[in-house]
Chain A
Amino acid sequence: MTRLLTSQKFRRIAIQSTFVFLIAVFIISLVVTGQRNIAAQGIATGFGFLERTTGWPVNFSVIEISPRSTYALVLWAGLINTMLVGFLTLIFSTILGLILAFMRISSNTLMNFVGTAYVELFRNVPVILQVFFWYALLTHLPSPKQAYDLAGIGFLSNRGLMLAVPELSSTDWLTLLAALVAIMIGLFVTRGRGEARLKGLIAVGLIVVLFAVLLLTGRAPDTGLLSVPELKGLRFIGGMTLKPEFSALLIGLVLFGAAYIGEIIRGGLLSVDKGKLEAGVALGLSEFQTNRYVRIPLAFRAMLPSLSNQYVWLMKATTVGIAIGYPDYFAIVSTSINQAGQTMELIALLMGGFIVVNYSIGFLMNQINERIKLKGRS
């Protein structure tokens, strides 16, 4: 018996079984209490509610939804809203971050100062406070009647930014898509330099002209090329509207994210061995070429892990949109919980959605990392 107790193997098995047992007891007790409480409240369980219509409106959506849409569709719209704001944030904050990073490593004292001041200011204030601030600023703009006129192509008022957009039918979109594909093929086939390249460019030019003619002649009569917003009564008709909720969230997240991404990129750029840059200069590369062909590729490799962490973080931060009424996935789920009462199912969908989105980002970044990492070394 004592031999059994002091045996390493036995102790390991015993500890691990106890661990599994305790966790199982914990989960089972949660499920049992949960079932009892849900039964007491008379809530139906299961995912059947996804087929029901919601009955409440959503103030912003990329895909077409109405109060008559099903829960499944509205939740999907919420997920798309989250991804829209998330991916736009990633793109813009990376661009701004790159600019900030180059400002901070510049030898120009003023550039350095502006970059540093920006990073310290935007990084040290909570993102939700910044989003609240931009939202207050945008909703305190003048009413549509006194809207700022942006050179005729847009108007800025407390209802949002109204922009003129090209008026395109679905066939026009198809034409554009076909043109894009044709151009890509044209450029791809005539890769290389010299005469082939020139011929390729001419061919691409011809394609562009052809499709432009197609677009202009194939239009229904009496429709302008641009849909320009017009003031009718108290609101604008036509064009495209960027709602203040969307703009405030995007601005807040981009400005905040750029401060962090800028620091990550700066760290990456500084990690590049000085000798390699000097080697580039010694080989006769210009400053731009040294940056483009030596510094950025090397820095990119060094900063990719922290960058992907930051991307996931920013994607998660889109949930603060609920504070100003942007209907992201979390906001839609939380309204659904209030309306439909299917708390457990909806929370599961909520967490599932975020795990899928975040793991996809992680997966994508890992793929990039695999492709660019140094070959032949572990």
Chain B
Amino acid sequence: MTEVIGAPMRATGPVAWARRHFFATWYDAIFSVILGALIIWSFNALISWAFLDAIWTVENKDQCDHGAGACWAVIQDRGRLILFGLYPYEEQWRSTLACLIVIVTMVLSCLPSFWSIRRIPILWTVGFGLFILLMRGGFAGLPLVRSEQWGGLSLTLFIFCGVFILGMPLAVLLALGRRSSLPVIAKGTGLFIDLFRSLPLLTILFAAAVVVPLLVPEQIQGSKLSRVIIAFAVFFAAYQAEIIRAGMQSTSQGQEEAAVALGMPYWSLVMDILLPQAFRNTLPSTINQAVITFKETSIVTIIGFFEVMASGNAAIGSGEWGNQYVEVYVFLALIYFVFVFGLSRYGSWLETRMRLGHA
């Protein structure tokens, strides 16, 4: 006589929920208790440091060294230096406005309705053009501000956008080159891409800043900033090219053959068939690459540019605020976090969307 046993019932209710999520096994219980205590303690410490015990304004800088919490007065005192660098004080509204324009441009290009091979370049030409006009000035009563005086967040955004705008078309060319049926071109671009991918970004930027002046006639050297941006763009393109190439490979071979059979010219095949699909298929990886690039703009600090990382260091480097380094680094980390976290959230939203078959 066999006994019939039904499937075990899944327990419900708050006790069962807690057991499943926190006390599933004896070691889960131990971890939960320890981690729970740790989380509460660190949350408490963070809140009291950042808000409850924090000092917001001071008359005298010594006050900061005696408080138990953060001294946000340093941000009040040095915030403008961190955000604008050495940009002239009276003109800093221009820097703010220029940053806002570029941020709006970035947000707009994240909207699916702007995703077309024609709209995106127009959007970026307008947005980035306005950015440069505003930052540089020299017309309609706006005093001229040379790029050597640019600094802080606007320089970070300028480098990031410059790299993206120059790097993307180059990446497309490199990807097409590597897929070419002509062996010399395919091997040549392949070698170029692999070479750039195996070198650290810093060494490439350093070479652009120091070596290029030795190798190129003075008339076409350009400024140090433009050389570094171009070198950064080439580095970006080497990585992005591999992403685009993967995207092109994921479109079926049949489409390409059909286009050739219909007598489509090569550029039409690329612009109307390959690229739109390649970009769509690889949007999450492209966003990921953008995230990495944004973080890596901070490396130009080492080459001697005054972007937001360097201006943050300058804010604590003078000695007056030397002990408030935690506050300044937290502030900088927040700036980067907002951009990077926003972008990567957007990336994972896209991924979900694509998995559902919308894009």
Contact = CB atoms under 8 A, between A and B. Distances in A.
Contacts of B340: 124-125
Interface residues of A, number: 50
Contacts of A12: 182
Interface string B179-191: 0001111001000
B295 A126 contact: yes
Contacts, number: 138
B35 A110 contact: yes
Contacts of A175: none
Contacts of A319: 200, 202-203
B323 A140 contact: yes
B207 interface: yes
Interface residues of B, number: 51
B325 A330 contact: no
A355 B201 CA distance: 13
Contacts of A350: 203
Contacts of A334: 206
A33 B199 contact: no
Interface in B1-39: 20-22, 24, 28, 31-32, 35-36, 38-39
A188 interface: no
Contacts of B39: 110, 113-114
A113 B32 CA distance: 11
A190 to B, nearest CB: 34
Nearest to B337: A124
Interface stretch (B91-99, B102-110, B208-216): B208-216
A16 B203 contact: no
A140 B325 contact: yes
B57 interface: no
A343 B184 CA distance: 31
Contacts of A16: 182-185
Contact of A108 (B28, B215, B296): B28
Nearest to A32: B215
Given A16-B184, A344-B211, A109 B298 contact: no
A82 to B, nearest CB: 10
Given A34-B215, A110-B35, A136-B325, A320 B199 contact: no
A337 B326 CA distance: 34
B51 interface: no
A223 B341 CA distance: 56
Contact of A359 (B22, B198, B215): B198
A110 B301 contact: no
B203 A33 contact: no
B332 A107 contact: no
> Could you say which of B28, B203, B295 has the most chain A C-beta atoms within 10 Å of its C-beta?
B203
Contact of B295 (A15, A127, A133): A127
Given A316-B200, A323-B301, A350-B203, A109 B216 contact: no
Contacts of B298: 126, 128-129
Contact of B198 (A38, A320, A330, A354): A354
Given A124-B341, A125-B337, A322-B202, A108 B332 contact: no
Contacts of B20: 107
A133 B200 contact: no
A277 interface: no
List 8 tightest A-B contacts by C-beta distance, closest first: A316-B200, A16-B184, A126-B295, A126-B298, A136-B325, A109-B21, A124-B340, A319-B202
Interface of A: 12, 15-16, 19-20, 23, 30-31, 33-34, 37-38, 107-111, 113-114, 120, 124-129, 132-133, 136-137, 140, 312, 316-317, 319-320, 322-323, 330, 334, 337, 343-344, 347, 350-351, 354-355, 358-359
